[in-house]
Structure 1
Amino acid sequence: MIKMQQTMRWFGPQDKVSLLDIKQAGATGIVTALHQIPVGEVWRVEDIIERQQIIKNAGMQWVVVESLPVHEEIKRASGNYLQYIENYKISIKNLADCGIRTITYNFMPILDWVRTDHSFINQDGSKALLYNKDAFTYFDLYLLKRPNAETDYSETEKNNALQFGSKLSEEEKALLFKNVLLGLPGSKINFTAEQILTLLDNYADIDNERLRKNLIYFLSEVAPIAEKYQVKLAIHPDDPPFSVLGLPRIMSTENDIKSIFEAVPLNANGLCYCTGSLGANPKNNLEKIIDDYGDRIHFLHLRNTIRENENVFRESEHLNGDAKMAAIVEKIVLMMNQRNVSLPMRPDHGFLHSIEEGEEQYPGYSLVGRLKGLAELRGLEMGIVYKLAQ
């Protein structure tokens, strides 16, 4: 039976986790990006080949681009956005010419993902990522001091945030500020308050409807190019799957997925099926999404979360959380065999274990936590394949 292609994310030559480490973890494919190229510029063939060769020399393949970032002006349909779309098309063709045919991207304004705590301590002493709405509300209202932010919150939410903040030391407030405004993946540079407020002001007149319209226009332009060159585009769901900082959200629910697939029905217009991001919204039925859109799933992020209450969720062990991972993986195996395709999968947001404590790590991307997740997911899949083959 066809099984998932096991991959791991690598942030490039500056990554503290080496390609040798990843190979020894059991991955055969690499998920990476050319982070050194400014967002919106063309990815040149020579730059792609250079990165490919580094990975090939380590005995693996570059199988997924994560991410080919979408310029903010495309998301806003303003400024130089038409030129940036043309550049995106050229980058798609260049990647295809190099044999890389799965591209992940997102359409989240400004921030790729948000957590309030990057070092939540689990019972076994390992550390995980966590989102606390009270902490975020306190950050928004009293640390960032976003103009008119108070209109986005109820009196109860404001009071809860004040109570949360009253227990924080100045050092803890500074850490919260840093955690929320961590830069883009592959970078450890934080936004300043002034930068984020300026960026937020650019979205003042953009609501969900307008952002969705801009996404559909973008896809109507780039998906035919991807289809022509046999490239699969995989949009990553919003993380978290609800509005933050008053920003619009258009890829958080099953209806959001349906709307863009119906608007741009090409198969190249597909989904990065992230069980963590989609699963953080309890209204999303993860198994039904596979049933309904399995033919449009082009890349797999398998991770798990636990919702402690309606205001707090945290990353959990890959096999133990709110997402029913055994049922999900079984559906994935059946779907892949029906489609006759091996989809790339990577474990996501592993724990930070004590053996790596003190080393410089990008939150959620330490080696041991992801190795553990990859091994568990591999074993789960092997058991499912054995069962289905009987």
Structure 2
Amino acid sequence: MRTFFSMLPWRLLHFLIYCSCCFIILPLFPGLMSVDAFTGTYGINYGRIADNIPQPERVVTLLRSSKIKNVRIYDADDSVLKAFKGTGLELIVGLPNGFVKDISTNQSHAMDWLKENVQPYLPDTHIRGIAIGNEVLGGNDQELEGALFGAIKNMYSALKKLQLENLIEVSTSHSQAVFNSSYPPSSGTFKESALVYLKPILDFFSKTGAPFCVNVYPFLAYDSDPDHIDINYALFEPNAGVYDEKTDLHYDNMFDAQVDAAYAALEAAGFNNMEVIVTETGWASAGGNDEKGASPENARTYNFNLRKRLFKRKGTPLRPKLVTKAYIFALFNEDLKPGQNSERHYGLFNANGSVSDDIGFSGLKSSPAPASTLSLKDIHRQGWSTSYSFTLIACITILVTLLA
């Protein structure tokens, strides 16, 4: 008796077998798929310069109950990486500034660092990116600035040798110190002293597809000039806004203006198509007597309005079709951070996991959330759906061609 499959044209039968194999094999080899380092639009920085914050397992419970999927840490702490295992949370780990010079001059050390701090935790811990240093450019350490590009290249080369370059993105975050001008947004340019080191990095990232990562703090801008900056403009509250004559664009909040200043600076440097991702932004709930605007009310207003703005999944006035993504700073108040008093008061949550800024999160519950098992829904959340959809479209296209 002839079966259904025996009646199919041989080319079509081979094609169906091939498609079936693709859908089975692709999840087993994540290096074959390009996975975005950022899911959705909202993430958070999990800083740990404190002696009173919850253990990582409790932090995972907090993040999952708050439905925060994207997380950045500033190192590759073993206890954190183990706690994130099997959770589905997307993690960016940091190579601290103190390692940058060594990694820059020793490619083998980059490989050693990956084999110790990244590879053993894959694939169960979803490490999606490595941030090389933090706010290196625009400072006073020219030797460190000169080492940044070498560290980026060596880390990427080591990832490539491990066939992880399509799974883990290499990036670095910049402060506002790299900009020569940012007001109005269209005047955004890089300082020549920073561009010397930044240009080869941008060239490299344009080839690897990495974004330009920048830390954006309207709080610091307002604090530096409270007499001339409308606090409502900084807090996403109703205000007259700012008009940029060069682009004929209107800005009703400083966050968008600072992001567009970064886009303008990239464009001026010849990188029109590079995405900007905000890797830190937040507002201090307390500060010293000379820190204007630091208050629980302002922190709550900024973080609530920012979250609402990001969840709209829209772009900026200059890049309206490119959805804005941002990591909030920070998860907890960090009582051991040096510097001004405000540095220790950016947390959305208190040390015990209770809500510090009430912007819609519930805080820690008494019992930990159960670890999820892998399902089709998990596959979608982990970013595999894009690759599956692409494969499905390709399969349908070829099928139509064969049957034509």
Give the TM bin, normalised by the shorter chain.
Answer: 0.3 to 0.5
Per the normalisation by structure 2, the TM-score is 0.42
Taking structure 1 as the reference length, the TM-score comes to: 0.43
